[in-house]
Structure 1
């Protein structure tokens, strides 16, 4: 129980209550421990508009949530997750995740976590349960100078600028940080599994385990981003999930794996063959159809599109394949019982709640429609004539605004709010140069 956490942790001195806004930024309050009971039992209040701020934390111009409505409060109640520790804060502190409701108890449709709950309810109504895992890529960065650099190795004091894919030397060099990170994940109940060094210098990937609770999977990805960024600062450097912090090196992706269980717990993508079932094909078709409209969620920021170039380990064409990492959707090999889809488009700079909503919602669209995808491709997707993903922020905004697939997945209020947010950012970002954009996004996303 939420109340029990504080009884079991008398060392906690303060709490944070926080919800994710549309950009995935934590918005909330600091509350002394002695007043925690009210936040737990009655909830807390702040304006609906707070979940619809731009990347600078500013109100959206002409938002219907602000002056037109009188900027009213919503009620934010604890999620089922309850308290989690915040190991990156010096004083013992606990985070109480919250989500937003109207006064009459209705979920606020502009809350990204409520959007995911809405899609999960669609699955539940069909007797289905999605199983989700994420792969989290990030860079460790020394940002103290004018140019971003690899931090000096705590072991040797040297800066290694070469790519070191799956290099144990890299993992060993940063062992103190990763030991602290795994300890923190254990304390926060984040199911962190394997770590590898990636293609960029100072770049790593940690996999979060599959779980049959999509809301918890999104919580974990959100918490993980907060944790890695905060803990890195405690160790004297930055960590960034920015899609491409270095122009000359690989970008950060966030690949999502998912399968779907029926009411008896069977994987509906498994028909005993390497190809998978009709349900798998339908889910693939739904994801492919929604991909252009989903791009604003998969690549939500000005610098997100720097990553999406041919030959850079990030997809540019709309296609699927078996065991092929050049495509947008990959069907991994392995046991038929573990048959799943890997969605490879998103960058590390996404909002996990919107990302998982978009992917699961698109898959369910395809299943409901019994849609059939084009044939899977073979070979290098970059060298084939394929339908292309939107290649700019502005094109993604337009695709999101007109997508019938997006209209099936997200509530109209969230669509309106997200478009207003991105159009405002698009306008003001035009006045910033590349270095200013990097400085803005490095820590925030």
Structure 2
């Protein structure tokens, strides 16, 4: 029987759901059980069919320390959740509707998503899915349901070691060289990959829609259809990223969601589209005014005010900050505008009923659960406190960025701003913010502790 809880993230799939899946798919016997930790990297176990049924009946016990490993999978002892905690188990329980075939893994493969709970079945406050669920619940308590969609940009790269190269077209064998933005030719050249991508998404029920060639050679963006269920829409985004990488690998390529793989090319972002449905199901942001209803402007005001404090999750890695450059389609300041891609928070053009905001700050490397949680926290704060966003930017937002309030421009500053934010602790949880920042500080120390090729090039002879 499906368990219910006051928290929207705490719905747990039933044993009957798993039994029904295997009755329809009796050949499946290699199933990946997936969880997502603070760094946003899907991890888990590969199980046999009978083991999956046991998970759906009783859960699967895993060490809580895996939630706070760094992006490379190394323990972060500084969190106190490794030796100090006795590396104690928590229990993973399955998310409804996520047990699906995974065709890129083979004919008999499937996967399902889980969330972490304490042994008494209360949601673990370090699980990113529960962090998002708590923010969604605050909006629902106020009579608002977030309606969200995720757009993710990525590069297709040549498989191999060393510095990355753009992948060669699967039909022509030629490597893309120019910024063929919206190029149909480039899309056609990778058609076998996209055909398999759409087919796999259909199998998994991921609502994949339009695809475009983006503003760099070998860079693409695909859109996931909006849903009035922020948790499920974000589940889709995590499943989609894994699927893209898997399908690319089947075609001998690497799909990279790294924020800035090439210094001379555009970086890859994750754009979050959000509106709010009221209790009748209507769009609360709808208005004949292109800037939307007053509540939309308050939501934008809140996102602007909390933007600097949220950068620790919007730009979670050292590489993330290489993406933020003027005239690059990546924002550099807390700005907003209507039908304007030079700002951080854009109200897109469209009919009155479609009014929403496009949040353009996140890199494609951000954890979608945490990014969505921080965006919705900012919106709730703004709507609750009726925050005025100030006048909309008209024209070039890069030239009009306020000098006295820019975004944190490096990793350490972003982590510190996030760690010291009382508002982020209120919305996302104090223990979560503490442990997240500990993990990122450990990552930062490990990253800057490495001696790179650039060190040798700059300093070996000149120092």
- What is the TM-score when the length of structure 2 is the normalising length? 0.92
* Alignment counterpart, residue 241 of structure 1, candidates 254, 257, 262: 257
- 1:289 Cα shift? 0.9
Q: Which runs of 5+ in 1 are unaligned?
A: 437-445
Q: Deviations over 1:260-311 (max 9, x none)?
A: 0011011111133222111101100111111001101111011001101112
Equivalence for 2:4: none
CA distance in structure 1 between the aligned counterparts of 2:171 and 2:43, rounded to whole angstroms: 37
Q: Where do residues 168-179 of structure 1 align in structure 2 (5 Å cutoff)?
A: 168-179=184-195
* Alignment counterpart, residue 159 of structure 1, candidates 168, 175, 178: 175
Q: Deviations over 1:399-436 (max 9, x none)?
A: 10112331222111111110011000000100336679
Q: Deviations over 1:320-346 (max 9, x none)?
A: 011111111001111110000000000
SS for the counterpart of 1:88 is helix
Tell me if 1:296 matches 2:296.
Answer: no
- 1:91 Cα shift? 4.7
Tell me if 1:61 matches 2:46.
Answer: no
CA distance in structure 1 between the aligned counterparts of 2:169 and 2:292, rounded to whole angstroms: 45
Alpha-carbon distance change, 433 to 3 in structure 1, aligned in 2, over 3 angstroms: farther
SS for the counterpart of 1:36 is helix
Equivalence for 1:440: none
Equivalence for 1:129: 145
Tell me if 1:343 matches 2:330.
Answer: no
Equivalence for 2:449: 431
CA distance in structure 2 between the aligned counterparts of 1:326 and 1:162, rounded to whole angstroms: 22
* Alignment counterpart, residue 86 of structure 1, candidates 102, 108, 118: 102
Q: Deviations over 1:212-255 (max 9, x none)?
A: 01011110110111011111111001110000111111100110
- 1:179 Cα shift? 0.4
CA distance in structure 2 between the aligned counterparts of 1:84 and 1:254, rounded to whole angstroms: 25
Q: Where do residues 345-384 of structure 1 align in structure 2 (5 Å cutoff)?
A: 345-384=361-400
SS for the counterpart of 1:62 is helix
- 1:146 Cα shift? 3.1
Tell me if 1:204 matches 2:220.
Answer: yes
Alpha-carbon distance change, 355 to 179 in structure 1, aligned in 2, over 3 angstroms: same
CA distance in structure 2 between the aligned counterparts of 1:422 and 1:131, rounded to whole angstroms: 30
* Alignment counterpart, residue 435 of structure 2, candidates 414, 417, 423: 417
Q: How many residues align?
A: 436
CA distance in structure 2 between the aligned counterparts of 1:146 and 1:435, rounded to whole angstroms: 12
CA distance in structure 1 between the aligned counterparts of 2:102 and 2:137, rounded to whole angstroms: 30
> Does the Cα contact within 8 Å between 2:393 and 2:400 map onto a contact in 1?
no
SS for the counterpart of 2:282 is coil
Equivalence for 1:6: 22
SS for the counterpart of 1:124 is helix
- 1:35 Cα shift? 2.4
CA distance in structure 1 between the aligned counterparts of 2:19 and 2:98, rounded to whole angstroms: 9
Instruction: Report which stretch shifted further, 150-159 or 302-311.
Output: 150-159
Instruction: Report which stretch shifted further, 270-279 or 317-326.
Output: 270-279
CA distance in structure 2 between the aligned counterparts of 1:159 and 1:71, rounded to whole angstroms: 48
> Does the Cα contact within 8 Å between 2:181 and 2:214 map onto a contact in 1?
yes
Alpha-carbon distance change, 321 to 434 in structure 1, aligned in 2, over 3 angstroms: farther
- 1:312 Cα shift? 1.2
SS for the counterpart of 2:39 is coil
Tell me if 1:398 matches 2:386.
Answer: no
Instruction: Report which stretch shifted further, 151-160 or 14-23.
Output: 151-160
- 1:87 Cα shift? 2.1
> Does the Cα contact within 8 Å between 1:27 and 1:51 map onto a contact in 2?
no
> Does the Cα contact within 8 Å between 1:22 and 1:111 map onto a contact in 2?
yes
Tell me if 1:214 matches 2:230.
Answer: yes
Alpha-carbon distance change, 50 to 248 in structure 1, aligned in 2, over 3 angstroms: same
- 1:385 Cα shift? 4.2
> Does the Cα contact within 8 Å between 1:2 and 1:82 map onto a contact in 2?
no
Equivalence for 1:111: 127
Instruction: Report which stretch shifted further, 426-435 or 285-294.
Output: 426-435
> Does the Cα contact within 8 Å between 2:101 and 2:204 map onto a contact in 1?
yes
> Does the Cα contact within 8 Å between 1:195 and 1:205 map onto a contact in 2?
yes
